[in-house]
C-alpha cells in the first residue's frame, strides 16, 4: 500500500515539507499547485528535489472550473489544461485532479461534462497523462461523487477516472456505500480527511477545519472500506486544509499524518478482513491495565522537597535501585520513582526542565504487542544502556521528549521492583489510604492536543471525550479526557492558548514539560485528610464563597458541608454519583497532586476547575517572578 500526503496539509516551506514527509515514512506527495508556484525553482528542479527525497509525485492538483463552459471560455479552459499538462511532464507526474466546476458560467448537463472529459482524455492520452475528476461538495452542478462517477462513466475514456475524497462525501452526509459498485480501476486516486462535526458552510468547514483521520468525527474508516471493496489499488493520500496546521510543527504534523493513515488502514483491514490491503498485520489497540509508575527527574534539594511532599501525602520510600540513584516511593498501588541520576534520559530532562515527570510506566497485557503497534504507527523505540541484572523494559518516545514504558506479566517485566530494587528496612507502608492513580493530567500547548490524542487513540484501546472549556482568570484552557473502557487508564489533556493561564505558565516555566498533576484515589477522603493533616500536608485553600455556593446548589446531610469546608474538599455530583477532591499546593514550577474519591461519579470535577485554578493562582508569586 502506497501512502501519500498533499503538500497543503502541513506547515513550512516546500523543502521543509518534503523533508518532514519523507522522514515520516510516506511514499509520495500530492503537489498542491500553490505550494509549487510559491517556490522559486523550475518544475524540473522541483521534480528532482522531490525524487531526491525518495518521494514520488502521486498527483498534481487542483485544476479548477474546467467542465461545462460555453465557448469561448471552453477553448480557453482546454488551452489552460494543455499548459498544466506541460508542467506535469516537467515535474514528472502523470495524474492530475480536476475538481468540479464552481464557475458562474458553467452550464450543467452530465453529457456536456462527459463530452468535455472525453476530449480532454484524448489530449491527456497523447502525452501519456491521466485525469481524475473530483466532486467538490460545493460544486455548482456536480457536488456528489455519484454524479462525478456518472460523468466519468459516460466520458468512457481510459485516461479519465474518478477521484474520491472522504470529506466531500461524508461532509455532505452522503453514504459512501455507492462507491463499492464503481470499478476499482476507474478510481484513479483517493484522498482522506476527517473533520470535527460543526454546523457551518461546507466550503468554510473544508478549507479551515479538516483534520487527520481519527482526529475528527467522520467515519473515514467506513468510507475507505467502500473504496477498498471497489477494488482500488492506488495510493491512499491525506488532503488536509486546517488553519491550525498551517502554523504547527512541520515534523509533528507529518508524523501525525503517517500515524493516522496506518491506524486507519489497519482499522479498515480489521473491520473487513476480506479486503485486500497490503499492510502488515498489526496487533489490535492495546487494552491498558493502569499506570504502573510515574518517574520524576529531580536532583538534590529539589528531590528532598519532593520527598517531603510525598511523605506528607502518606508515601514511604520503599526501595532503592541496586545500581542507580533511583528511589521508589510507594503507597497502595501507586509507585513514584524519583530519579537523581546525572546521566541519561532523566538527567537530560532535569537539565532542560528542572524537576518534572520524565517517564511513565503503563501496565499492559503484552508489552510486545503494544511496541509492535506503536512502532508501526511511527513511534520511535527508546533504549538506554542496561547494567547487569537490569530488565529491558520496552519503551517509546512519546511527544515532546517524554518516554513511555510498557510492563506486562507475560514477560515478567512487572517483577522489576523485586529484581532491580532493594527494599528499605523499616519503611512505614501504612500510608494515608491512597489506593491508585486515578488519572494523569498533561498540559500542552493547544496546538499539540490533536497530536497527543491521536498518539493515545492509535496505540491504546481508549475513548476520547468531547473537549470542554475550562475558565482560568487569565484565559481559556481546553480540556479533553482520554480513557480506557474500564477506566483503568485515564489522561486529561489540557491545552493552553495563552501563557497567562496557570497551564500556560507551567509550560513556560518548565520549558514545555507535560505532566502537570497526578490524581490519586482514596475510598474515604475525610479519613485520608485527617491522616495527611497529621503528617504535615497543607491542602490548597478554597474560598468560603465556594462553600456558600455549594450550599445553594445541593442538599447535604447534616455536617457534610462543614466537613468539606474544614478540609478544603471540593465537591461535584452527576447522575451516577458524588465526587470529592483535595489539591496540594504547587511545587516545581507549577506541578501539584490531587486526591479524590469517586462514588460512582464518572467525570473529573470540571465545574470546580475555575475555582481550583483561581486558588492556585493566589499561591503563585506575582506575574513575571519564578514560582517555587
Ligand atoms: O477547497 C478546494 O478548493 C479543494 C481543492 C482540491 C481538492 O481536492 C479539494 O478536496 C478541495
Ligand atoms: Mg480533495
pLDDT tens-digit series, residues 408-422: 988 888 899 999 999
CA-nearest residue for atom 1, ligand 1, is 207
CA-nearest residue for atom 5, ligand 1, is 62
The answer to the question of whether 165 is labelled as a binding residue is yes
Cα 105 to middle of ligand 2, angstroms: 23
| Rounded CA separation 88/33 (Å) | 11
> Residue ranges of the alpha helices (H) in 179-249?
202-209, 220-229
pLDDT band at 621 (very low <50, low <70, confident <90, very high): low
pLDDT tens-digit series, residues 106-154: 999 999 999 999 999 999 999 999 999 999 999 999 999 999 999 999 9
Q: Is the pLDDT of residue 628 over 70?
A: no
Which residue in the block uniquely carries the three cell numbers 517531603? Answer: 308
Which of 29, 59, 131, 134 is the best mutation target for the ligand 1 pocket, counting ligand atoms within 8 Å of the beta carbon and taking the most?
Answer: 134
Lowest mean pLDDT across 2-16, 314-328, 592-606, 610-624: 610-624
Which residue in the block uniquely carries the three cell numbers 479519465? Answer: 160
- Omega within 30 of 0 (cis) for the link into 471: no
Q: Is the CB of 99 under 6 A from ligand 1?
A: yes
Residue 593 φ/ψ, nearest 5 degrees: -115, 155
Q: What percent of the chain has pLDDT over 90?
A: 89
pLDDT for res 498: 80
pLDDT band at 623 (very low <50, low <70, confident <90, very high): low
CA-nearest residue for atom 9, ligand 1, is 136
pLDDT tens-digit series, residues 347-369: 999 999 999 999 999 999 999 99
| Rounded CA separation 158/128 (Å) | 11
Q: What is the pTM of this model?
A: 0.94
pLDDT for res 624: 53
Q: What is the mean pLDDT of the chain?
A: 95
| Rounded CA separation 349/116 (Å) | 62
Sign of the torsion formed by the C-alpha atoms of 171, 173, 175 and 178: negative
| Rounded CA separation 163/189 (Å) | 5
| Rounded CA separation 532/568 (Å) | 12
pLDDT for res 398: 87
For residue 97, which atom of ligand 1 is closest to its CA? 8
Contact (CB, 8 A) for 493 and 467: no
Q: Is the CB of 239 under 6 A from ligand 1?
A: yes
pLDDT tens-digit series, residues 434-489: 999 999 999 999 999 999 999 999 999 999 998 889 888 888 999 999 999 999 99
Cα 579 to middle of ligand 1, angstroms: 48
Cα 136 to middle of ligand 1, angstroms: 7
Look at strands 95-99 and 130-134 and give their pairing.
parallel
Q: If DSSP codes are grouped into helix, strand and coil, which group holds residue 594?
A: strand
Could you give the domains of the chain?
3-271 (3.20.20.150), 288-423 (3.10.180.10), 434-619 (3.10.180.10)
pLDDT tens-digit series, residues 555-564: 999 999 999 9
pLDDT tens-digit series, residues 365-409: 999 999 999 999 999 999 988 888 889 999 999 888 889 999 998
Q: Which three cell numbers stand for residue 27?
A: 511514499
Angle, helices 43-52 vs 14-24, to 10°: value is 30
The answer to the question of whether 341 is labelled as a binding residue is no
For residue 203, which atom of ligand 1 is closest to its CA? 1
pLDDT band at 44 (very low <50, low <70, confident <90, very high): very high
pLDDT tens-digit series, residues 280-299: 999 999 999 999 999 999 99
Q: Is the CB of 116 under 6 A from ligand 1?
A: no
The answer to the question of whether 191 is labelled as a binding residue is yes
Which of 101, 206, 220, 237 is the best mutation target for the ligand 1 pocket, counting ligand atoms within 8 Å of the beta carbon and taking the most?
Answer: 206
Q: What is the mean pLDDT of residues 58-65?
A: 98
Q: What is the mean pLDDT of residues 604-622?
A: 88
Q: Is the CB of 65 under 6 A from ligand 1?
A: no
Q: Which three cell numbers stand for residue 177?
A: 456505500
pLDDT tens-digit series, residues 187-244: 999 999 999 999 999 999 999 999 999 999 999 999 999 999 999 999 999 999 999 9
pLDDT band at 518 (very low <50, low <70, confident <90, very high): very high
The answer to the question of whether 145 is labelled as a binding residue is no
Q: What is the mean pLDDT of residues 496-517?
A: 87
| Rounded CA separation 106/65 (Å) | 8
Amino acid at each position: 500500500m502506497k501512502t501519500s500526503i498533499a503538500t497543503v496539509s502541513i506547515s513550512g516551506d516546500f523543502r521543509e515539507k518534503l523533508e518532514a514527509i519523507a522522514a515520516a515514512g510516506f511514499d509520495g506527495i500530492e503537489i498542491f499547485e500553490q505550494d509549487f508556484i510559491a517556490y522559486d525553482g523550475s518544475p524540473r528542479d522541483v521534480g528532482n528535489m522531490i525524487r531526491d527525497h525518495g518521494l514520488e509525485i502521486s498527483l498534481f492538483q487542483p485544476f479548477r472550473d474546467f467542465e461545462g463552459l460555453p465557448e469561448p471560455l471552453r477553448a480557453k479552459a482546454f488551452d489552460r489544461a494543455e499548459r498544466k499538462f506541460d508542467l506535469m511532464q516537467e515535474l514528472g507526474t502523470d495524474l492530475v485532479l480536476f475538481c468540479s466546476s464552481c464557475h458562474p458560467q458553467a452550464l450543467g448537463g452530465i453529457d456536456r461534462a462527459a463530452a468535455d472529459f472525453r476530449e480532454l482524455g484524448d489530449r491527456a492520452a497523447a502525452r501519456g497523462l491521466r485525469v481524475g475528476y473530483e466532486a467538490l461538495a460545493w460544486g455548482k452542478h456536480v457536488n456528489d461523487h455519484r454524479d462525478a462517477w456518472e460523468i466519468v462513466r459516460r466520458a468512457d475514456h481510459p485516461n479519465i477516472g474518478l477521484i474520491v475524497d472522504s470529506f466531500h462525501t461524508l461532509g455532505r452526509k452522503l453514504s459512501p456505500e455507492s462507491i463499492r459498485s464503481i470499478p476499482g480501476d476507474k478510481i484513479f486516486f483517493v484522498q482522506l480527511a476527517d473533520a470535527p462535526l460543526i454546523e457551518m458552510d461546507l466550503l468554510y468547514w473544508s478549507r479551515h477545519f479538516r483534520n487527520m483521520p481519527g482526529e475528527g468525527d467522520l467515519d473515514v474508516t467506513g468510507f475507505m472500506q467502500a473504496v477498498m471493496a471497489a477494488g482500488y489499488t492506488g495510493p491512499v493520500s491525506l488532503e488536509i486544509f486546517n488553519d491550525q496546521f498551517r502554523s504547527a510543527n512541520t515534523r509533528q504534523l507529518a508524523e501525525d499524518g503517517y500515524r493516522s493513515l496506518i491506524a486507519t488502514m489497519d482499522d479498515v483491514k480489521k473491520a473487513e478482513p476480506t479486503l485486500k490491503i497490503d499492510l502488515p498485520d498489526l496487533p489490535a489497540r492495546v487494552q491498558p491495565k493502569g499506570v504502573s509508575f510515574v518517574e520524576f527527574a529531580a536532583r538534590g534539594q529539589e528531590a528532598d522537597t519532593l520527598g517531603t511532599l510525598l511523605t506528607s501525602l502518606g508515601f514511604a520510600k520503599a526501595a532503592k535501585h541496586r545500581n542507580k540513584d533511583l528511589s521508589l516511593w510507594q503507597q497502595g498501588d501507586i509507585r513514584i520513582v524519583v530519579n537523581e541520576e546525572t546521566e541519561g534520559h532523566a538527567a537530560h530532562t532535569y537539565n532542560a526542565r528542572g524537576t518534572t515527570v520524565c517517564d511513565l510506566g503503563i501496565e499492559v497485557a503484552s508489552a510486545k504487542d503494544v511496541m509492535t503497534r506503536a512502532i508501526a504507527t511511527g513511534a520511535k523505540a527508546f533504549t538506554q544502556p542496561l547494567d547487569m541484572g537490569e530488565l529491558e523494559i520496552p519503551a517509546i518516545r512519546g511527544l515532546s521528549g517524554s518516554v513511555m514504558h510498557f510492563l506486562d506479566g507475560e514477560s515478567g517485566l512487572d517483577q522489576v521492583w523485586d529484581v532491580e530494587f532493594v527494599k528499605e528496612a523499616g519503611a512505614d507502608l501504612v500510608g494515608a489510604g491512597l489506593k491508585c492513580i486515578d488519572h494523569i493530567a498533561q498540559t500542552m500547548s493547544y496546538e499539540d492536543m490533536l497530536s497527543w490524542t491521536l498518539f493515545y487513540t492509535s496505540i491504546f484501546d481508549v475513548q476520547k471525550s468531547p473537549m470542554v472549556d475550562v475558565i482560568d482568570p487569565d484565559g481559556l484552557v481546553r480540556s479533553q479526557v482520554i480513557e480506557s473502557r474500564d477506566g483503568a487508564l485515564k489522561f486529561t489533556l489540557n491545552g493552553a492558548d495563552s501563557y497567562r493561564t496557570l497551564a500556560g505558565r507551567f509550560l513556560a516555566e518548565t520549558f514545555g514539560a507535560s505532566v502537570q498533576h497526578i490524581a490519586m484515589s482514596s475510598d474515604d477522603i475525610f479519613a485520608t485528610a485527617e491522616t495527611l493533616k497529621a503528617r504535615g500536608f497543607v491542602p490548597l485553600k478554597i474560598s468560603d464563597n465556594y462553600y456558600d455556593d455549594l450550599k445553594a446548589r445541593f442538599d447535604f446531610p447534616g455536617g457534610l458541608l462543614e466537613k468539606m469546608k474544614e478540609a478544603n474538599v471540593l465537591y461535584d455530583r452527576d447522575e451516577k454519583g458524588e465526587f470529592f477532591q483535595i489539591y496540594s499546593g504547587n511545587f516545581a514550577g507549577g506541578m501539584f497532586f490531587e486526591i479524590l474519591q469517586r462514588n460512582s461519579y464518572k467525570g473529573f470535577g470540571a465545574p470546580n476547575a475555575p475555582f481550583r485554578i483561581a486558588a492556585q493562582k493566589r499561591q503563585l508569586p506575582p506575574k513575571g517572578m519564578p514560582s517555587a
